[in-house]
Amino acid sequence: MSDSSNKGLFQELKRRNVFRVAIAFIIVAWLLLQLVDILVPMLSLPDWIGRLVFLLLVIAFPISLLFAWAFELTPEGVKLEKNVDRSESITHNTGRKLDFIIIGVLVAALGISMYVNFDADSVTEDSTDEITTTIGRASIAVLPFTNRSANEADVFFVDGMHDDLLTQLAKISALKVISRTSVLQYRDTEKSMKIIGDELGVSTLLEGGVQRAGNRIRINVQLIDANTDAHLWAETYNRELTTENIFEIQEEIAYRIADALHAALSPAEQKRIADRPTHSLKAYEAYLIGRQRLATRNLDDVEESIKYFEVAIAEDENFAQAYASLAEARIVQNNSGQRSLEDMLEYIRPLVAKARSINQEIGIVYNVMGGLAEYEGDIELAETYYLKAIEVGPSYSTAYIWLGLLHQNFTGDFEEATRLFGMALELDPAATLPKYNYAVQLANVGRRDEALQVIQKALQDAPNVSTSHAMAGEIVAYSFGRFADGIRSVQRASVLDDLAKSFVGFLFAELGDFETAKLWHDAYARDYPDASFAKEIELRLLRANGKMKEAARLAEKTLEHSRDTIYEPDLLRAIRDYNFTVGLDTDSIEKYRDFYPELFRDSPDVTRANIGAAVDLVLLLKMTGQEHAYLSIAEASLDVIVTMPRMAATGIGLLDVELHAILGDRNSAIAALSAADDSGLLFYVDPGRHYPNLANIADDPEYQRLIGLIQDRVSAELRKIREMENAGRLARTPEELPNIVFDLSL
């Protein structure tokens, strides 16, 4: 074909608006596909809808071009192009209309595109997405400052300044800042910057020294590239010793570090860094020393920290961080069994309210607000506050831990709890608190080998931390079935902290050795009579001796005074089982409704946090003839059970066996019990007293055989324990503990 012919065809295609139709069709088609991408998931439509729309558009495209070529829109309607007189053709008018249509559709397409991108990248409805963005930033570790003062007592002040600078840097979301507990190990270290950077997972390090003399203070700092040892920035500050000057220096250091690491600060972050928490030097000094004491989590140090926080408040009644820190110290005392829940709540309510009224835009303030909301039962509000604590202090590792514990104990989202503990460990890699929380949670999601590695690293790094030994005992006992080794580890924890004695008794009770369990329980209960753990073991001892009425009364009394999230299912079960014998089923149901209202919804919300209570409730509802309710909970429970490991402190154990037995599915119950036996599950099941949940299959010969195999393993473990006691490697009673030589083996 000649060039003139090609040119003629091009002009004719243009005159007939074929090109404009093609452009308009492509834009409209793209817009339709974007709308389909939005509407299909929103309306829960099947995925094939999108494929069908795309296929129809592909088929329609050539048809639209053929229509544009062969037909023309006239005032009288659509006509074949060959029947339209050229002098009467209005294709140029149609073309202009198509131009406007193209422009309009382009504007709409742009709006849709902005919406989709904004929705995907900017809006974070899920807390997981919000928190994910806080890690993977420019990273820094601030090494312990050197005390260059003549007075050795100034070491607490210097350490406090170091801690406070970390708090300032932790407010910058673009920075990953390693927590204080992980950098303390490098005080006076001879390790190279490269090694320290690799161990902490950071690219830059800040080191410095503080000299205090009279009313003057001298601070020198230098920022170092951990990989090259190059100095990125250095500065010396020589000022009069006032709180204003100290905060001004910290603010300037934070800005210089952010600038050197190209970390942009938002207006809100700038405001937080510029905040002056107190104008009293005495209050500030007392606060700094209090924070150092509280950071150890040692019970004596926590008690000492309270005195310093009270001094800080006496010196400055508008010191928000001091009020929040005092509340945190009281919460720690409650968690360790030193203070009852009621006393703790009564004490911290005014402290949290005061801190909040002064300035709540502080990580520690939001965190204690979350702690108070959690202990008062408002879990949704607590989660909101913990997320705000992370937002205003993205490197504040404690907030990740408290939020992880909330998911573990209340929402039942164990995967999210595991992730949060892992992130806390990333921010504080040398600290034991995130290590043992992370290890236990790894075990709870079935990653038991990883859990053992993490807890062993925790013991290697800090062999004298009681909780690490206790958690190691939990992991080896429940995830590996090594109860003798687990008890040895928990006894080692008891030497370091007598609070762990309660757990020793608990493990003996799990094996059915109630005589030994009582010895350890009595020793613990003498010192901590109101602690929930003491009540739990006492409850088990009463039930083991057939004292169901006494057990129910103890459970009733305990529930009246404390909503302990860990033991509520056991307390409610004691009440339920006793009421079975006296015909008060309705009373039991109302107890469950009070503590677990989510199980009574039209679509029951069963999670790993309430799965034990849910299975117990299925039997109760079935016995009272509430078929629809018990079947709904049973179905939801089975969906949760399949996601859980068999062996862990919060594993399924025999929950699937119990549920199938309650539902009357004997074959499935026996099959589940066989799987439990194959896994090596090990805990005491009294063959002489049928548990209500297993009553439907208790007379089955295969059930009795499989339970016998589990009990054989229990007996073997008890023999191993007696051998270790005779060899002087385990204490049979608390009084024998001082005579036992412990090592770090698990």
Determine contact, residues 365/359, Cβ cutoff 8 Å.
Answer: yes
Least confident of 114-128, 152-166, 477-491: 114-128
Report residue 165's pLDDT band, with 50, 70 and 90 as the boundaries.
Answer: confident
Please, which residues have CB within 8 angstroms of residue 178's CB and are 6 or more apart in sequence? 139, 140, 141, 142, 200, 201, 202, 395, 427, 428, 429
Instruction: Say which CATH class 529-726 falls into.
Output: mainly alpha
Determine contact, residues 370/402, Cβ cutoff 8 Å.
Answer: yes
Hey, do 138-275 and 529-726 end up sharing a CATH topology, with the first three levels equal?
A: no
Least confident of 32-41, 109-118, 526-535, 590-599: 109-118
Report residue 490's pLDDT band, with 50, 70 and 90 as the boundaries.
Answer: very high
pLDDT of residue 116: 43
Write down how long the chain is: 746
The half-sphere exposure of 14 on its side-chain side, counting CA atoms within 13 A, is: 6
Can you tell me the distance from the alpha carbon of 96 to that of 101, in angstroms, rounded to the nearest whole number? 9
- Dump pLDDT digits (tens) for 657-712: 999 999 999 999 999 999 999 999 988 887 655 689 999 999 999 999 999 999 99
Give this prediction's pTM. Answer: 0.71
- Dump pLDDT digits (tens) for 416-455: 999 999 999 988 888 888 899 999 999 999 999 999 999 9
Q: What is the 3-state secondary structure (H, E, C) of 672-740?
A: HHHHHHHCCCCCCCCCCCCCHHHHHHCCCHHHHHHHHHHHHHHHHHHHHHHHHHHCCCCCCCHHHHHHC
Can you tell me the distance from the alpha carbon of 516 to that of 528, in angstroms, rounded to the nearest whole number? 19
Report residue 365's pLDDT band, with 50, 70 and 90 as the boundaries.
Answer: very high
The domain made up of 292-501 has a fold known as: 1.25.40
Does the pLDDT value for residue 199 go beyond 80?
Answer: yes
Mean pLDDT of the chain: 83
**Does the structural domain 138-275 have CATH classification 3.40.225.10?**
no
The half-sphere exposure of 159 on its side-chain side, counting CA atoms within 13 A, is: 20
Does the pLDDT value for residue 565 go beyond 50?
Answer: no
The half-sphere exposure of 33 on its side-chain side, counting CA atoms within 13 A, is: 13
pLDDT of residue 560: 77
pLDDT of residue 119: 37
Angle CA(14)–CA(19)–CA(24) in degrees, nearest 5? 140
pLDDT of residue 12: 64
- Dump pLDDT digits (tens) for 11-52: 666 666 666 667 777 777 777 777 766 665 445 455 567 677
First to last CA, the chain: 88
pLDDT of residue 132: 38
- Dump pLDDT digits (tens) for 92-132: 555 556 555 656 666 565 565 554 444 333 333 333 334 43
Does the pLDDT value for residue 564 go beyond 60?
Answer: no
Q: Where are the domains of the chain?
A: 3-123, 138-275, 292-501, 529-726
Does the pLDDT value for residue 572 go beyond 60?
Answer: yes
Integer angstrom CA distances of residue 346 from 327, 333, 352, 371: 11, 14, 11, 13
Taking residues 604-614, report their average pLDDT. Answer: 94
